[in-house]
Amino acid sequence: MNVSGNVSAIMAHKRTSTVWSIGPNVVVNDAIRLMDEKNVGALPVVDKGTLVGIVSERDYTRKVILKGRSSRETPVSDIMTKKVLTVTPSDSVTACMRIMTEKRVRHLPVLEGTDLVGILSIGDVVNWLLWAQTATIEHLERYITGGYPA
């Protein structure tokens, strides 16, 4: 199945383009609090303008809660994923789906060169697919019913 569109189209379709991030020396409790406030499941970790990792609710549950660590004392750098999978605005939706499925990740930071310009969640990709599917069906229905000018 070839899904049309690229990352920039998904980003333009998103309700908000704000990218919330956090520093590596911030304690995990503050990161979780920010995720809750902003209703996001992951935060890019940025140090001096450079993406150095990503921290997610999954990291928190597996690397803090299950290990009996203190979220008020543990820095984000201790639990973040350091080898971050990223995409660019020109990458295809299909490529994003492949990465998310094969690598079992739910969030992909979007980089333009070294600049963090967005983040895609699995929900963003699903919403895009639903929107694209609906648009295609409506287009085909107009075509079939003669809704196009001659």
What are the E-state strand segments in 17-113? 42-47, 50-56, 107-112
Note the pLDDT of residue 1. Answer: 45
The per-residue pLDDT for range 32-68, each reduced to its tens digit, is: 999 999 999 999 999 999 999 999 999 999 999 999 9
Tell me, rounded to whole angstroms, the distance of Cα 44 from its chain centroid: 9
Residue carrying the six token digits 């049309």: 4
- Ordered domains of the chain (ranges, CATH): 7-144 (3.10.580.10)
> Which of 125 and 134 is assigned the larger pLDDT?
125
Note the pLDDT of residue 149. Answer: 64
